[in-house]
Amino acid sequence: MQINKYIDHTILKATATKADIEKLCNEAVKYEFYSVCVNGAYVSYAKSLVKNSDVLVAAVVGFPLGQMTTEAKVFEAKEAIENGASEIDMVINIGMLKDREYDYVENEIRKIKEAIGDNVLKVIIETCYLTEEEKKIACELSLNAKADFVKTSTGFGTGGATFEDVILMKSIVKDNAKVKASGGVKDYETAKKYIELGASRLGTSSGISIVEKK
């Protein structure tokens, strides 16, 4: 198993500096991770640092609360793609989901997917705030809107990925979308288990520890 190719090497903290982004990108190139995942302001810089490698750039949108307007998220996603991102990790409007405004949630995902075209869209449903039924619905809405991935967490909520959530999400999307486990993936054995359970991608800031099995 080439576990490095499952990893989105990530830094999203508020205090991230250009030096942090440079370190992240250099590590991603060295370890041949699938991508680096950064906030929008650093997309073009990250792209310039990985341009001579196979490492892609992923950008977060509506991060981490998901409570921006749909129009703001669409603009953010389009700009990130224009600046060099190949993948978008968007946060749904969790409050709208809980209010059962399902059309709103689905339409928002669809509009972002349409705005970025063939680029990959991952939908962060922030499982720690959802009931089992809400998790299922969020996955179904993501499928309806033609998202490429459903993703467990931002890493900024009250909890991250769990094995149970990945099993549940995979059972809903089957082979019609992929699953990304994110938040709390810190060691090789945990990462391996998520992949065995059906995750196609791992979001983590512990990629080096994972591949070096430390």
Check 73, 151, 170, 178 and give the catalytic one: 151
Residue 148 CB contacts under 8 Å (≥ 6 apart), including other chains: 120, 121, 122, 177, 178
Q: Are 198 and 166 in contact (CB under 8 A)?
A: yes
3-state secondary structure of 97: helix
Output the CA angle 179-184-188, nearest 5 degrees. Answer: 80
Amino acid in position 85: A
Q: Could you confirm whether 192 is annotated as catalytic? A: no
Q: Could you confirm whether 148 is annotated as catalytic? A: no
Check 113, 122, 135, 180 and give the catalytic one: 180
For residues 70 and 105, what is the distance between their CA atoms, to the nearest angstrom? 9
Q: Could you confirm whether 151 is annotated as catalytic? A: yes
Check 8, 73, 89, 148 and give the catalytic one: 89
Four-point Cα dihedral 9, 55, 140, 98, nearest 10: 40
3-state secondary structure of 203: strand
Encoded tokens for 54: 């196979």
What residues are annotated to the active site?
89, 151, 180
